[in-house]
Homo-oligomer: A and B are copies of this chain.
Amino acid sequence: MADRYELCLSGFGGQGLILAGIILAEAIGIHEGKYVSQTQSYGPEARGGKSKAEVVVSDTPIDYPKPTDIDLLLAMSQDACDTYYIDLKAEGILVVDSTYVSEVPSNQAIQVPCTKIATDLGLKMVANIVSLGAISEVSDCVSYASLKKAILTRAPKGTEKLNLAALSEGAKAAKKAMS
């Protein structure tokens, strides 16, 4: 992995992307000892329903915390996919929630039905955790074990089992999508 690695988690409000960004940042920053900066922006555009969390990972302290050239884009809505795909590097990784994204802009896109998987597990809300599982499978930026630890810290009491199942199913589905 290069010194600087940039991720953008995008979709619509209510999908838990900010929490996903925080969990991802804690997994890498606390459990893998790298420097991580996690940003979300609010403003006129947020009222349009789009939501975005950005995570920048580095081996050295981070001066400019906003992504400049995205290595991995997660798009959990068609609108977010259409808007942010242009910021993805040529060799970057695109993961889409195929429950909501039907028109993919690249035949390299990794299509994981995150929301469908979460609904099948019994709680649509854990689609964000399914997507983190997929990210652990498709990228070296974070390990499955570190995500597991970070999720156990953040998951409300009583939801640990469900969240870990979501993580596991997301990783499995991404593996399948890539094969």
Contact = CB atoms under 8 A, between A and B. Distances in A.
A99 to B, nearest CB: 24
A36 B42 CA distance: 5
A97 interface: no
Contacts of A92: none
Number of copies: 2
Contacts of A22: 18, 40
Given A22-B18, A65-B65, A40 B41 contact: no
Contacts of A66: 64-65
A28 to B, nearest CB: 7
Summarize A's interface: helix, strand, loop or mixed.
mixed
Interface in A9-47: 18, 22, 25-26, 28-30, 33-44, 46-47
21 contacts: A22-B40, A25-B40, A25-B42, A26-B42, A28-B42, A29-B41, A29-B42, A29-B43, A29-B46, A30-B42, A33-B44, A34-B43, A35-B41, A35-B42, A36-B42, A36-B43, A37-B41, A37-B42, A41-B62, A43-B61, A64-B64
10 nearest A-B pairs in the assembled complex, by CB-CB distance = A29-B42, A35-B43, A36-B42, A39-B39, A29-B43, A37-B41, A25-B42, A38-B40, A39-B65, A65-B66
